[in-house]
Amino acid sequence: MKYPIGIQDFEKIINGGYVYVDKTALIHQLVTEGNIYFLSRPRRFGKSLLVSTLEAYFQGKKDLFKGLAIDGLETEWAEYPVFHLDFNGEDYTQSGTLEKVIENFLSVQESIYGKNPIDQTMGSRFMGVLHAAHQKTGKRAVVLIDEYDKPLLDVLDTGFSTIVDGEKRLLEDHHRNILKGFYSVFKAADADLQFVLLTGVTKFSQVSVFSGFNQPSDISLDARYEALCGITEEEMYRYFAEPIEALAQKYKCSTEEMKLRLKLQYDGYHFSDELADVYNPFSILNAFDKKRIADYWFATGTPTYLIRLLNHTNENLNELTGIYYDPSQFIDYKADLEKPLPMIYQSGYLTIKDCDLDMGTFLLDFPNNEVKKGFVTLVANNYLQSDKDSGSWARDIVGALKTGDLEQFRKLLTSFLADIPYTMRRKETERERERYFHYTFYLLMRMVSCYTVYTEKQQSEGRVDCIVETPLYIYIFEFKLDGTADEALQQIEEKGYARPYEADKRKLFKVGTVFSSETGTISEVKVTER
């Protein structure tokens, strides 16, 4: 089986004999039920392949679709003039790059369909060439814009500037004005348009690129198109039974165990209230191709715009996850508000895990272990600014918990905390100091993604600071800031934190841990066993 790793060209995939998960029934539905769409999906989720497939369809390349679902649905296979603009592959932090990309695009199209000398602005030229294409071919134009938001995301919150008409302007504002004028064409050119699709990571609102034209139909949370990108669980088992079995043999486990392992690592995305499971296609295909379960998607790099956003937010990650939100809180990124939630969600680091249909709210949390471990590691490095390699530290911690070696666990935790700069833990009030240490431990334990980790877990008589469950052991942690380990252990007993595990056959450790606000690390640990 050939896997299209890094291949986003539909024609190349089909002609090259690569595996193709058939999305053409949904594509046919898309093109017959509407004409102007916007779709937000995380990076490396198949948006570019979707655009390429639509391009081939609207070019009437019937032979490429032989044997696919659309082959039995489409009867006309009409050829339309297709305008495909891809904003990938350029660095928009360089002044003038956006103008150059659009100019090259327009010049190519004008060489095909002609240019009206009256049209001078980018918007008027675009509108003119769309009209010319309609007149010349007798068919309305199809516009496909891939990663429409990259020119904005590249410069978001950078402070980079440029000179426009002799005046200094933020590059972010300059790009937004260019795109706003460019996309405003869709409103005036409606009679010349057959179909429009814009894809991207982020939906900007307020001072937006969308405000100048007819609002597109946002299908990002539309249950009908939840599976338009990505690989559903049904598709996983239908298309990839052979590589799943091969992985099971390599890891010496049953097929069902491997399915569960892949699900925990790469599944968990939901893009509507119907909660259809969607796997990250980039990660799962890499796992099959390399015959190894690893962190492929996160390893390709964290978007710089998200790092910049997180650098100046005061919101803790544990205060963002596991909470129900109104869609308005995470669907649109409001450029004048420094709120990380929309960016984190739209970038694929959080996803919908449940919904309350009566209230119209959605529960957001990490989609899977790959994302959880990677993102928490990123946030931990950014927040704690430790000199230690958090990835290798996390692996060592996992090893210590796996074997029940609490002394090694204590040493690893102590050494990591000791490397955090004093300026990071310097807090003015006792409440701030306690909040810092709780959040620090939350981040560190969240990195242990291969185990079940509960932080601040609600029980009948109170909240447990942390519980870690491994196949052989259960660890119940209670933390005190400048207290004693005995006080922590006493609280575990008095509150009955171990009671839910009375029938559990695994070995249970009760761990009283004391943080020192003076040294910034652990001053005392005591353990009792069951």
**455-496 pLDDT, tens digit each:** 666 666 667 888 888 889 999 989 888 899 999 999 999 999
pLDDT at 84: 98
Round to whole Å and give the CA distance between 374 and 486: 35
Per DSSP, the residues of 17-32 read T------HHHHHHHHH
Angle at 216 (CA atoms; ends 125, 41), nearest 5 degrees: 105
pLDDT at 462: 67
Count CB neighbours of 166 within 10 A.
5
Is a pLDDT exceeding 70 seen at residue 424?
A: no
> Bigger pLDDT: 361 or 310?
361
Which range has the top average pLDDT, 12-21, 337-346, 442-451, 469-478? 12-21
At 3-23, the pLDDT tens digits run 999 899 999 999 999 999 999
Angle at 113 (CA atoms; ends 107, 116), nearest 5 degrees: 75
Round to whole Å and give the CA distance between 113 and 100: 20
- pLDDT-based confidence at residue 139 (cuts at 50, 70, 90): very high
Is a pLDDT exceeding 80 seen at residue 137?
A: yes
Is a pLDDT exceeding 50 seen at residue 96?
A: yes
Is a pLDDT exceeding 90 seen at residue 444?
A: no
Do β-strands 161-164 and 507-515 pair in parallel, antiparallel, or remain unpaired? unpaired
Compute CA distances 332 → 202, 208, 215, 346, whole Å: 7, 10, 13, 9
At 403-422, the pLDDT tens digits run 889 899 888 888 888 777 76
Largest Cα separation within the chain, whole Å, is 85
Contacts of 245 (CB under 8 A, 6+ apart): 255, 258
- pLDDT-based confidence at residue 378 (cuts at 50, 70, 90): confident
Q: What's the average model confidence in pLDDT over 112-130?
A: 90
- pLDDT-based confidence at residue 336 (cuts at 50, 70, 90): very low
Round to whole Å and give the CA distance between 315 and 350: 15
- HSE toward the beta carbon, residue 299, CA cutoff 13 A: 10
Mean pLDDT over each residue of the chain, to the nearest integer: 88
pLDDT at 222: 95
Contacts of 503 (CB under 8 A, 6+ apart): none
Is a pLDDT exceeding 80 seen at residue 63?
A: yes
Which range has the top average pLDDT, 90-104, 146-160, 201-215? 90-104
Round to whole Å and give the CA distance between 526 and 515: 13
pLDDT at 521: 83
Compute CA distances 234 → 41, 219, 237, 279, 348, whole Å: 20, 21, 6, 10, 21
Length of the chain: 530
Q: For every residue of 213-282, which 3-state class applies, written as one string?
A: CCCCEECCCCHHHCCCCCEEHHHHHHHCHHHHHHHHHHCCCCHHHHHHHHHHHHCCECCCCCCCCEECHH
Closest CA to 184 of 235, 133, 121, 256: 121
User: Looking at 280-294, 342-356, 358-372, 510-524, which range is the least confident one?
Assistant: 510-524
> Bigger pLDDT: 335 or 496?
496
Answer whether 340's CB lies under 8 Å from 308's CB: no
Answer whether 464's CB lies under 8 Å from 456's CB: yes
pLDDT at 334: 64
Q: What is the DSSP letter of 500?
A: G
pTM: 0.84
Answer whether 370's CB lies under 8 Å from 280's CB: yes
Q: What are phi and psi of 115, to 5 degrees?
A: -130, 135
- pLDDT-based confidence at residue 207 (cuts at 50, 70, 90): very low
Compute CA distances 218 → 57, 188, 523, whole Å: 21, 20, 53
Q: Provide the H-helix boundaries in 34-115.
A: 47-58, 97-113
Answer whether 352's CB lies under 8 Å from 222's CB: no
Q: What is the DSSP letter of 469?
A: E
Q: What's the average model confidence in pLDDT over 436-455?
A: 73
The residue type found at 175 is H
Question: Reading across the β-sheet that carries 462-469, which strands appear in turn?
Answer: 452-459, 462-469, 473-481, 507-515, 522-529
- pLDDT-based confidence at residue 338 (cuts at 50, 70, 90): low
Q: Exposure pattern of 408-421 as b/e (b: 16+ CB <10 Å)? A: ebbebbeebbeebe
* Chain position carrying tokens 């008409």: 165
Closest CA to 100 of 151, 165, 148: 151
pLDDT at 420: 73
Phi-psi region of 360 (alpha: psi -120 to 50; beta: other; left: phi over 0): left
Domains (range + CATH), the chain: 10-225 (3.40.50), 231-299 (no CATH), 304-365 (no CATH), 399-529 (3.40.1350)
Answer whether 446's CB lies under 8 Å from 372's CB: yes
Per DSSP, the residues of 381-416 read HHHH--SS-HHHHHHHHHHHHHHT-HHHHHHHHHHH
**Residue 473: alpha-carbon gap to chain centroid:** 32
* Chain position carrying tokens 């074997």: 403
Q: What's the average model confidence in pLDDT over 339-359?
A: 89
Round to whole Å and give the CA distance between 343 and 164: 29
Do β-strands 351-356 and 332-334 pair in parallel, antiparallel, or remain unpaired? unpaired
